[in-house]
């Protein structure tokens, strides 16, 4: 039996997990920071893009909005639906598409099935940041220093629960609970930590579950998936300002 | 690491878990049987009531509908909101209220915060049954014999995810997967099994999580909770027919 009593006796702030965008209104109250999570693959792609020099990312809801930026100097238009690059676009939501490129000074305009939808939903939060295994430690270390309630918002898969986002949320939660400063009130938060504790030794084994493996093989996503599940490849924390994602460090300097 | 590859290679039917009523439309397609689950406490109370002789249970959505049956001969009116018996009613959703009573021939009219809401949502399913730890084995044995896709619908807590319903769903799922006849497609189903495997040795330790313990102590629910988490106290499977819950065995005899 795992230790279910994970709460610190005298915590100052809450850290909670919301499993899917549709549940966001039920969890959003009193939350100072919302972390949007779409491990496979939108938020991983965003961190990878910043790591490779991108200046800002504009998340948009529709393919049409993104399309207007195709061929525009200084812009990269990226669009994904159902795990595939949308016709007419060069970029989808694959983080590996950005790795090894010099994207300094460029702006990405991105629309994805799940991730940009969750970002749009959380855009009015006091602070909205983007999380993925790629920036797990940098993000967790920053979060621990904040004096706010924190909501870990999983993007899910087509409005449903997904495992990788929830397990990532559990990973962040574990680090915040260790600090003694944060506690939980919601069953979803306790469950996310259970799942992380079950899966922590081998994230990839999650994919052994037949239906997911099938989809990933069909889409030839395995290199992407391995990359997205490898923690701490970046220190970048993307943060939303005026509808655009920028690096946290840019704000701090400004 | 737990075994995430829980799928049978050549399963005939699916068994899936829906974590909360609001997600039901996303999971309901192609489901022949819906099992409504509200471990704390509506579906536990229903099984306990049948076990103690009740003839039928009419689930209603509003307090007003239940109120009309107060004092009516042959009827028991039961109403719960926020874990407490509604003013003016003798019965809420406590299963222990029915234990040791002879309720032969009586009809219960019941409204609860979460459970009767989920029943109402699933009432158009081809077959809708009620599950709780109290009838875990009887229910699972019956389900294994059916040639249908099965949806385990958790009632949750005020539209949010809850642990006890999800863990119970994982318990049922484990028994169905063992048969080799059933497989899963949804991440929520895999997660429910993870949670059950983590919690199986001691359901009560779940309640050590501070926020839940506080609520349960405030409401003095501990005897109820222990009763609700003790498997296999009944062989009754309540099934919905024409808007009323009756015993499965009544139907088979008829």
**Mutation choice for B interface testing from A1, A2, A4, A180 by most B CBs within 10 A:** A4
Contacts of B201 in chain A (CB under 8 A): 1
**Residue A79 belongs to a domain:** yes
Chain B nearest-CA residue for A215: B185
Residues of A with CB under 8 A from a CB of B: 1-2, 4-7, 9, 19-20, 22-23, 26-27, 157-163, 166, 183-188, 190-191, 194-195, 197-202, 205-212
pLDDT(B159) > 90: yes
Query: Are the Cβ atoms of B187 and A162 closer than 8 angstroms?
Result: yes
Examine the pLDDT at B28 and tell me if it is beyond 70. yes
DSSP per-residue codes, A182-246: EE---HHHHHHHHHHHHHTT-GGGGGGSHHHHHHHHHTT-HHHHHHHTS--S----EEEETTEEE
- Name the percent of chain B lying above pLDDT 70: 91
- Whether the CB-CB separation of B165 and B36 falls below 8 Å is answered with no
Q: How many domains does chain B have?
A: 1
Range A42-62 average pLDDT: 96
Q: Which residues of A87-107 are buried (b: 16+ CB within 10 A; e: fewer)?
A: eebebbbbbbbbeeeebeebb
Nearest CB among A2, A4, A187 relative to B161 is that of A187
pLDDT at A6: 62
Tokens, residue A8: 């610190």
The verdict on a CB contact (< 8 Å) between A1 and B186 is: no
Residue range B173-181: average pLDDT?
A: 95
Tell me the chain B residues in contact with residue A211 when contact means C-beta distances shorter than 8 Å.
Answer: 7, 184-186
User: Quick check: A172 pLDDT over 90?
Assistant: yes
- Which one has a higher pLDDT value, B194 or A167? A167
Q: What percent of chain B has pLDDT over 90?
A: 76
B contact set with A (CB within 8 A): 1-2, 4-7, 9, 19-20, 22-23, 26-27, 157-163, 166, 183-188, 190-191, 194-195, 197-202, 205-212
pLDDT cut 90: percent of chain A above it = 76
Interstrand relation of B84-85 and A150-154 (parallel, antiparallel or unpaired):
unpaired
Name the minimum distance, in Å, from the CA of B221 to any CA of chain A.
Answer: 18
Q: Which pair of structure tokens corresponds to residue A34?
A: 């919302």
Q: Quick check: is B6 in a domain?
A: no
Query: Is B26 in Cβ contact with A1 (below 8 Å)?
Result: no
Q: How confident is the model at residue A248 (pLDDT cuts 50, 70, 90)?
A: very high
Q: List the Cα angle A59/A64/A70 in 5-degree steps.
A: 80
Radius of gyration of chain B (CA): 17
Q: Where are the beta strands (DSSP E) in B8-161?
A: 13-18, 33-37, 56-59, 75-81, 84-85, 107-111, 127-131, 150-154
B160 confidence band (pLDDT: 50, 70, 90): very high
Confidence (pLDDT) at B187: 93
- CA nearest B213 in A: which residue? A5
Pairwise CA distance, residues B111 & B69, whole Å: 12
Query: According to the model, what pLDDT value does residue A168 have?
Result: 96
Closest alpha carbon to A165 in A126, A138, A191, A141 = A191
Average the pLDDT over A91-113 and give the result: 94
Q: Tell me the chain B residues in contact with residue A215 when contact means C-beta distances shorter than 8 Å.
A: none
Give the residue-averaged pLDDT of A57-75.
Answer: 96
- Helical (H) or strand (E) element with A80: strand A75-81
Task: Show the CA angle centred on residue A203, arms to residues A199 and A206, nearest 5°.
Answer: 80
Chain A nearest-CA distance from B65, in A, is: 28
Query: CATH no. for residue B210?
Result: 3.90.1560.10
CA-based R_g, chain A, Å = 17
Tell me what the mean pLDDT of segment A208-221 comes to.
Answer: 69
- 3-class state of residue A110 by DSSP: strand
Q: A4 pLDDT exceeds 90? A: no
Mean pLDDT of chain A: 91
Q: Tell me the mean pLDDT in the region B86-105.
A: 94
Residues A198, B198: C-beta atoms closer than 8 Å: yes
Whether pLDDT at B2 is above 60? no
Q: How far, in Å, are B40, B73, B103, B167 from residue B52 at the CA level?
A: 19, 18, 6, 26
The predicted pLDDT at position A194 comes to 86
> Domain for residue B5, yes or no?
no
A175/A197: higher pLDDT: A175
Question: What pLDDT is stored for residue B5 in this prediction?
Answer: 45
Task: Decide if A238 is inside a domain.
Answer: yes
Interface probe with A: pick from B211, B213, B216, B225, most Cβ of A within 10 Å: B211
- Mean per-residue pLDDT for B25-40? 97
Sheet of A56-59: strand order equals A84-85, A75-81, A107-111, A56-59, A244-247, A238-241, A127-131, A33-37, A150-154, A13-18, A182-183
B197 contacts in chain A (CB < 8 Å):
198
Peptide bond into A41 cis (omega under 30): yes
**Nearest chain B CA: its distance from A161 CA (Å):** 6
Domain that holds residue A55: 13-253
Residue A8 lies in a domain: no
| Count of Cβ atoms closer than 10 Å to residue B146 Cβ | 16
For the cut 80, the answer to whether the pLDDT of residue A8 exceeds it is no
What average pLDDT score do residues A157-161 get? 93
pLDDT, position B217: 72
Separation between Cα atoms, residue B117 and residue A51, nearest integer Å: 48
Task: Judge if ipTM > 0.90.
Answer: yes
Query: Is A7–B211 a contact, with Cβ atoms under 8 angstroms apart?
Result: yes
* Helices and strands in chain B: count of H runs, count of E runs: 10, 11
Report the alpha-carbon distance of residue B163 to residue B154 in Å, rounded.
9
**Mean predicted confidence (pLDDT) in B32-42:** 96
Among A207, A225, A229, residue whose Cα is nearest residue A83: A225
Interface mutation vs chain A, best among B191, B195, B207, most A CBs within 10 Å: B191
- Residue B3 — very low, low, confident or very high, per pLDDT cuts 50/70/90? very low
| Residues A75 and A106 sit within 8 Å (Cβ to Cβ) | yes
pLDDT in tens, B40-61: 999 999 999 999 999 999 999 9
- Please indicate whether, in this complex, the C-beta atoms of A186 and B160 are within 8 angstroms of each other: yes
Q: Is the pLDDT of residue A5 over 80?
A: no
Residue B207: the pLDDT is 59
Q: Is the pLDDT of residue B238 over 80?
A: yes
Contact A208 B5 (CB under 8 A): yes
The predicted structure's pLDDT at residue A101:
86
Determine if the pTM surpasses 0.90. Answer: yes
Kindly give, in sequence order, each residue whose CB lies less than 8 Å from that of residue A197, ignoring residues fewer than 6 positions away.
Answer: A2, A170, A174, B198
pLDDT band at A197 (very low <50, low <70, confident <90, very high): confident
Instruction: Say if the Cβ atoms of A199 and B19 lie within 8 Å.
Output: no
Helix axes A163-178, A136-145, angle to 10 degrees: 50
Model confidence at B104: pLDDT above 70: yes
CB contact under 8 A, A160 and B186: yes
Measure CB to CB from residue B1 to each of A161, A166, A201 and give the nearest one: A201
Give the model's pLDDT for residue A85.
95
pLDDT band at residue A253 under the 50/70/90 scheme? low
Is B5 in Cβ contact with A209 (below 8 Å)?
Answer: yes
**Is B8 within a domain?**
no
Q: Is residue A215 part of a domain?
A: yes
Tokens of A248: 């946290």
How many beta-carbon pairs under 8 angstroms link A with B? 124
């Amino acid at each position: 039996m795992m230790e279910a009593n994970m709460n610190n006796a005298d915590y100052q702030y809450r850290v909670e997990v919301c499993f899917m965008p549709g549940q966001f209104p039920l969890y959003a109250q009193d939350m100072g920071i919302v972390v949007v999570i779409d491990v496979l693959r939108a938020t991983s792609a965003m961190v990878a893009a910043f790591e490779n020099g991108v200046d800002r990312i504009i998340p948009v809801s529709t393919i049409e909005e993104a399309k207007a930026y195709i061929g525009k100097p200084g812009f990269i238009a990226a669009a994904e639906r159902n795990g595939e690059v949308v016709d007419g676009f060069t970029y989808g939501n694959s983080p590996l598409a950005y790795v090894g490129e010099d994207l300094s000074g460029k702006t990405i305009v991105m629309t994805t099935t799940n991730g940009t939808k969750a970002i749009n939903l959380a855009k009015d939060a006091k602070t909205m940041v983007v999380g993925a295994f790629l920036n797990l430690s940098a993000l967790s270390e920053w979060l621990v220093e904040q004096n706010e309630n924190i909501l870990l918002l999983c993007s899910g898969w087509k409005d449903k629960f997904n495992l990788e986002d929830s397990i990532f949320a559990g990973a962040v939660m574990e680090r915040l609970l260790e600090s003694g400063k944060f506690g939980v009130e919601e069953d979803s938060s306790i469950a996310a930590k259970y799942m992380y504790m079950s899966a922590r030794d081998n994230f990839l084994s999650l994919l052994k579950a037949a239906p997911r493996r099938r989809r990933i093989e069909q889409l030839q996503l395995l290199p992407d998936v391995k990359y997205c599940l490898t923690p701490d490849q970046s220190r970048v924390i993307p943060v939303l300002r005026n509808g655009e994602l920028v690096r946290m460090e840019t704000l701090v300097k400004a």
